[in-house]
Structure 1
Amino acid sequence: MGECCSVGNGKASAAESRCPGCGQVGKPVALLTLKSLLKPEALERLDPQAAYAFCATPHCPVVYFGGQGGPFDTDDVKVAVYQKDPGADVPVCYCFGWTRRRIQDELARTGKSTAAAAIAAHVKAGRCGCEVNNPQGACCLGNVQAFVRGMRA
């Protein structure tokens, strides 16, 4: 797979860190992701020397935590966060435009989804930009596959 979908995410603490909103363990996320996706007013609070983590808990408003300027919640991010917003037009894949609605429509029309295969081909070709497009700062393929499985269940 492409570099953005297979390597570590940069400045991340090896220590287990817990979300201040829900107490769940967060996943380390690169500073580049926050710099790309935080709104300007939130970016002004970013501590560039700190390690940050992503909170994937759906009911928790916190998206990123760590450092002195956080936490950062859904209102601080430029895009809707897949894990936290159940809307049909929220991206499951931020790089290649696969929304819940697009996947659902394709499944309804054809009985199958080509999303994972299409995304994997783009990743293999070096086209993904997960670290700057996806709020979780990592590859979306797991999210896409889980969503498709859930739709088939």
Structure 2
Amino acid sequence: MDDCCQIPDIKSDPLNCPACHQNGKRVQLITLKALLTPNALPNLNPVLSYAFCLNSDCSVVYFSEGQTFNKDDLKMPVFQKDGAMDVPVCYCFGWTRERIVEAVHNNQNPVQYVTEQVQADRCGCEVNNPQGSCCLGNVTTFVRSIDA
């Protein structure tokens, strides 16, 4: 398996979300194949390049030229799109917002834990995380927001 925390070599012009018009983050096709529901997967066009919409106010998760997949098209909630406490921040190791808050209040370090797992080559973010890349930045940002 490729190192999920390396930046994928996807080079092309930026894609803007057709709903919110913000620049999206390119994702590998394997991410969509792994996370789209059985009803949405047949609509995937494997010759297109897809991007992830980071805008939390936008219902679009993945988009390409002329095609979108919304939150309901995914098998799980998306951290950037759903503020619930039981939504994963780290999809590979089950760190939800709630679990991170509890860990921080118990003087545990979720960032260190996830870092160790990434360094041990145990993550699979390209198939587990809807953004298609390492969640360590999300975990770090969320931990900092607790301390703030």
Are 2:103 and 2:110, in contact at CA under 8 Å, matched by a contact in 1? Answer: no
Query: 4+ residue stretches of structure 1 with deviation over 3 A?
Result: none
- TM-score w.r.t. length of structure 1: 0.91
Query: What is the distance in 2 between the residues matched to 1:33 and 1:107?
Result: 30
In 2, distance between residues paired with 1:80 and 1:57? 14
Rounded Cα–Cα distance in structure 1 between residues aligned with 2:74 and 2:117: 25
Q: TM-score, normalised by structure 2?
A: 0.94
CA distance in 2: counterparts of 1:36 and 1:97, whole angstroms = 17
Structure 1: runs of 5 or more not aligned: none
CA RMSD of aligned residues (A): 1.4
In structure 2, distance between residues paired with 1:86 and 1:66: 25
CA offsets 1:3-57 (integer angstroms, 9 cap, x no match): 1101416xx4510110011110000000000000000111110000010000010
Contact 2:7-2:133 at 8 Å conserved across structures: no
Rounded to whole Å, the distance in 1 between the matches of 2:19 and 2:11 is: 19
Asked whether the equivalents of residues 46 and 67 of structure 1 are also in contact (C-alpha less than 8 Å), the reply is no
Structure 2, unaligned runs of 5 or more: none
Say whether residues 1:116 and 2:84 are aligned partners. no
CA deviation map 1:95-125 (0-9, x unaligned): 0011100011122233xx4111111111111
2:15 alignment counterpart: 17
Percent of pairs identical after alignment? 50
1:1-153 paired onto structure 2 within 5 Å: 3-8=3-8, 12=10, 14-68=12-66, 70-110=67-107, 113-153=108-148
Q: Secondary structure at 1:92's aligned position in 2? A: strand
Question: Are the equivalent residues in 2 in contact too, given 1:13–1:52 (CA < 8 A)?
Answer: no
